[in-house]
Amino acid sequence: MQEELKKRKRKAKASRMASTSTSPTSAAAAAAAGAAAGAAAAAAASHALARFGLHGKRALVTGGTKGIGRAVVEELALLGAEVFTCSRTARELEAALAEWRSRGLLVEGAAADVSTPEGREGLLRAYADSFEGEARLDILINNVGTNVKKPSAEYTKGDYDRVFGTNLESVVALTALAHPLLKRGAEASRREQKAGGERAATAAVGAAPEASAVVLVSSVAGGPPSMRSGSLYAATKAALDQLARNWACEWARDGIRVTAVRPFYIDTPLAAGVVGDPAQLAQVLAATPSRRVGSPQDVAGVVAFLCSRASAHVTGETVAVDGGYLAAGFWPE
């Protein structure tokens, strides 16, 4: 019996050795397969960089130290853009900049309140001063926003000025001030493209003409369905959606694409009053087919796409980031 067991063990060992040994032919095949896999991975990475990478792009993001704005700053920087942002609070800005620098992200910023003319002008001066060489802008993200929720008949002149000044007037005025920089950015990118600096990258995407990108952070509160978000807030967001369409047509000849993103409830400080209340949260989830509240990163990913070469033929569009809210209509469980 023992001799038989020894024979079985020797046979099993020999079988294992045979199965793990590799002939010169199979070794060469394995090496070739590994090389092919490596080449495929490199090609995929190169294609992704050409389509979605933002290396060499300069971006300005308003209100970039928290919520959606912060997620957008980080997304663009991680994709290779040099980002400039702002906050009304210098201490908050410095803390965010310190964190980003520790992570190796190319982000600078200035304390500025873009709801005021002085703040907007100061922001653009600080932006221009932060870059060497030609002052140009490739990406503008209008993100700042606020809200005052109360019955419509109870709004005051101060409420109106605050909501419209922050959500609408600041966007119109800042984008108008930035227009020459955005136009210059498109012209510079197209010169580089013609000179061959972008030839290899753009060949993979059909060599679409380079363009600057403006993205407005709007909201599904702008309609068409109504929602209990405050009528002034809703009016400003509806205005942003139409601005995206008008500007897209007016500025196409300048090499500027304009789009808007339209989030539903996102887990940010602005939505904390709703998301943090169990009863209200349950209502939000019931109206959301995905049955979850969105994250700032959900919005940032769409914004990054709208800034990339992959969206070169997309302009004048408003993209909902809402978990299916607008599509749901009457869809009870």
The closest alpha carbon to 274, from 289, 262, 259, 264, belongs to 264
Q: How much is the pLDDT for 204?
A: 47
Residues 321 and 263 sit within 8 Å (Cβ to Cβ): yes
Q: Span 271-289, mean pLDDT?
A: 92
Count of alpha carbons within 13 angstroms of residue 90, beta-carbon side: 1
Residues 69 and 146 sit within 8 Å (Cβ to Cβ): no
The Cα-based distances of 25 to 17, 19, 22 in angstroms read 17, 15, 8
pLDDT at 163 over 90: yes
Q: H-helix or E-strand containing 57?
A: none
Segment 128-148, tens digit of pLDDT: 999 877 789 999 999 999 999
Rounded distance, CA 286 to CA 292, Å?
A: 9
Q: How much is the pLDDT for 11?
A: 60
Residues 23 and 105 sit within 8 Å (Cβ to Cβ): no
pLDDT at 183 over 50: yes
Lowest mean pLDDT among 148-162, 183-197, 246-260: 183-197
Rounded distance, CA 96 to CA 109, Å?
A: 9
Residues 110 and 122 sit within 8 Å (Cβ to Cβ): yes
Q: How much is the pLDDT for 130?
A: 92
Residues 54 and 307 sit within 8 Å (Cβ to Cβ): yes
The mean of the pLDDT values for the chain is 89
Lowest mean pLDDT among 58-72, 138-152, 199-213: 199-213
SS3 212: strand
Which domains are delineated in the chain? 39-323 (3.40.50.720)
Rounded distance, CA 309 to CA 304, Å?
A: 10
Q: Span 34-55, mean pLDDT?
A: 81
Local confidence band at 198 (pLDDT 50, 70, 90 cut-offs) = very low
Q: Span 23-31, mean pLDDT?
A: 74
Local confidence band at 73 (pLDDT 50, 70, 90 cut-offs) = very high
List, as one string, the DSSP characters of 116-149: SHHHHHHHHHHHHHHSSSS---SEEEE-------
Question: Is the model more confident about 80 or about 5?
Answer: 80
Identity (one letter) of the amino acid at 152? S
Q: How much is the pLDDT for 193?
A: 80
Rounded distance, CA 187 to CA 212, Å?
A: 9
Sheet of 139-142: strands edge to edge? Answer: 107-111, 82-87, 58-61, 139-142, 212-217, 256-263, 318-321
Rounded distance, CA 311 to CA 292, Å?
A: 27
pLDDT at 17 over 60: no
Q: Span 260-276, mean pLDDT?
A: 93
The Cα-based distances of 113 to 141, 190, 229, 266 in angstroms read 15, 33, 24, 23
> Which letter does DSSP use for residue 213 in this model?
E
Local confidence band at 7 (pLDDT 50, 70, 90 cut-offs) = low
The Cα-based distances of 224 to 262, 310, 325, 326 in angstroms read 12, 28, 12, 9
CA angle 248-250-254, nearest 5°? 90
Residues 84 and 130 sit within 8 Å (Cβ to Cβ): yes
Local confidence band at 200 (pLDDT 50, 70, 90 cut-offs) = very low
Q: Report, as residue numbers or ranges, the catalytic residues.
A: 233
SS3 270: helix
